Structure 1
Amino acid sequence: MGTLKITVIGAGVIGLSCAYELTDVGHEVTVVDAGAVGAGGSAGNAGWVTPFLSTPRAAPGAVRDAVRSFTSAEGPARMRPHAEPGFATWVFQFLRASSKARSEQATASLQAFSRRAIRHFDSLAERGVGFDQYTAGLAVVFKQPHNLDHYAQLLARIRSLGYDGEVSVHRGSDAADFDPAIRRDMAGVMHLESERHVRPETLTDGLAKAILAGGGQIVEHERVVRLASSGRGRWTVVTADGRAIPCDQVVVAAGYPSRALLRPLGVTVPLEAAKGTSMTARGEGTVPSHPLKLYENMVACSPFGKTVRLSGTFDLGRRDSTLDRKRLDMVVRQGLGYLQDWRPTDIDIEWAGHRPTSVDDLPVIGPAPGHEGLYLATGHGTLGITLGPLTGALAAQEIAHRQHQPCLDPFRLTRFANRTKRRV
Structure 2
Amino acid sequence: MSKSAVIIGGGVIGTACAYDLTRSGWRVTVLDRGTIGGACSHGNCGYVCPSHVLPHAGPGAVWSTMKTLFQKNSPLKLRPLSVLSKLSWFLGFARRCNERDMLAAAAGIQALLNSSRTLYDELLAREPIACEWETKGLLFAFHTPHAFEHYAAVDAMLREKFAMPAERYDAAGMLKLEPALKPGVVSGGYLYKSDAQLRPDRLMSGWRTVVESAGGVFRENCEFTGFVEKNGRAVAAKTSQGEVEADAFVVATGAWTPLLNSHLGCKIPIVPGKGYSITMPRPSVCPTFPLIFEEHRVAVSPFQTGYRIGSTMEFAGYDTTMNPKRLGLLRDGATFYLKEPTCEPVQEEWWGWRPMVYDGKPIIDRSPKLPNVLIAAGHGMLGLSMATGTGKLVGEILNDQPPHVDAAAYGLKRFG
- Post-superposition Cα deviations, 1:223-271, rounded to whole Å, max 9, x if no partner, equal 11112321364421111x2411011111000001111123244221111
**Distance in 2 between residues matched to 1:66 and 1:148, nearest whole Å:** 19
Tell me which moved more, 258-267 or 135-144.
258-267
Change (3 A) 1:49 1:253: same
Change (3 A) 1:326 1:219: same
**Distance in 2 between residues matched to 1:32 and 1:202, nearest whole Å:** 20
User: Once the 2 structures are TM-superposed, how far is the Cα of residue 124 of structure 1 from its aligned partner?
Assistant: 1.0
Q: How does 1:9-408 map to 2 (within 5 A)?
A: 9-68=8-67, 70-82=69-81, 86-130=85-129, 131-164=131-164, 167-185=166-184, 186-231=186-231, 233-239=233-239, 241-305=240-304, 307-408=306-407
- Post-superposition Cα deviations, 1:140-163, rounded to whole Å, max 9, x if no partner, equal 011112222222221211122332
**Distance in 2 between residues matched to 1:136 and 1:385, nearest whole Å:** 17
Tell me the SS of whatever aligns to 1:75.
coil
Q: Is the 8 A contact 1:175 1:184 kept in 2?
A: no
Amino acid at match of 2:218: I
Q: What is aligned with 1:420?
A: none
Change (3 A) 1:160 1:173: closer
Amino acid at match of 1:200: P
Q: Unaligned stretches of 5+ in structure 1?
A: 418-424
**Distance in 2 between residues matched to 1:63 and 1:288, nearest whole Å:** 33
Change (3 A) 1:402 1:168: closer
Tell me the SS of whatever aligns to 1:383.
helix
Q: Is the 8 A contact 1:369 1:414 kept in 2?
A: no
**Distance in 1 between residues matched to 2:362 and 2:323, nearest whole Å:** 27
Q: What is aligned with 1:409?
A: 408
Cα root mean square deviation, aligned: 1.8
**Distance in 1 between residues matched to 2:354 and 2:76, nearest whole Å:** 13
User: Once the 2 structures are TM-superposed, how far is the Cα of residue 63 of structure 1 from its aligned partner?
Assistant: 1.6
Amino acid at match of 1:161: K
TM-score by length of 1: 0.93
**Distance in 2 between residues matched to 1:99 and 1:231, nearest whole Å:** 43
Amino acid at match of 2:388: P
Identity %: 29
- Post-superposition Cα deviations, 1:55-114, rounded to whole Å, max 9, x if no partner, equal 211122232244345544511122222369651111111111222321221123222332
Q: Is the 8 A contact 1:48 1:197 kept in 2?
A: yes
User: Once the 2 structures are TM-superposed, how far is the Cα of residue 119 of structure 1 from its aligned partner?
Assistant: 0.8
**Distance in 1 between residues matched to 2:189 and 2:233, nearest whole Å:** 52
- Post-superposition Cα deviations, 1:208-233, rounded to whole Å, max 9, x if no partner, equal 11111000100011111112321364
Tell me the SS of whatever aligns to 1:272.
strand
**Distance in 1 between residues matched to 2:279 and 2:77, nearest whole Å:** 23
Tell me the SS of whatever aligns to 2:345.
strand
Q: Is the 8 A contact 2:82 2:316 kept in 1?
A: no
Q: Unaligned stretches of 5+ in structure 2?
A: none
- Post-superposition Cα deviations, 1:371-415, rounded to whole Å, max 9, x if no partner, equal 220101100000111101111011111112443455221111111
Tell me which moved more, 33-42 or 257-266.
257-266
Q: What is aligned with 1:422?
A: none
User: Once the 2 structures are TM-superposed, how far is the Cα of residue 187 of structure 1 from its aligned partner?
Assistant: 0.8
**Distance in 1 between residues matched to 2:348 and 2:309, nearest whole Å:** 11
**Distance in 1 between residues matched to 2:164 and 2:87, nearest whole Å:** 39
Change (3 A) 1:169 1:196: same
Amino acid at match of 2:136: A
Tell me the SS of whatever aligns to 1:42.
coil
Tell me the SS of whatever aligns to 1:297.
coil
Amino acid at match of 2:81: H
- Post-superposition Cα deviations, 1:328-373, rounded to whole Å, max 9, x if no partner, equal 1111111221112343211111100010011212110122234220
Change (3 A) 1:232 1:278: same
Q: Is the 8 A contact 1:176 1:184 kept in 2?
A: yes
**Distance in 2 between residues matched to 1:77 and 1:402, nearest whole Å:** 41
Q: Is the 8 A contact 1:138 1:291 kept in 2?
A: yes
Tell me which moved more, 383-392 or 260-269.
260-269
Amino acid at match of 2:391: G
**Distance in 2 between residues matched to 1:140 and 1:233, nearest whole Å:** 48
Tell me which moved more, 371-380 or 225-234.
225-234
Change (3 A) 1:188 1:306: farther
Tell me which moved more, 368-377 or 403-412.
403-412
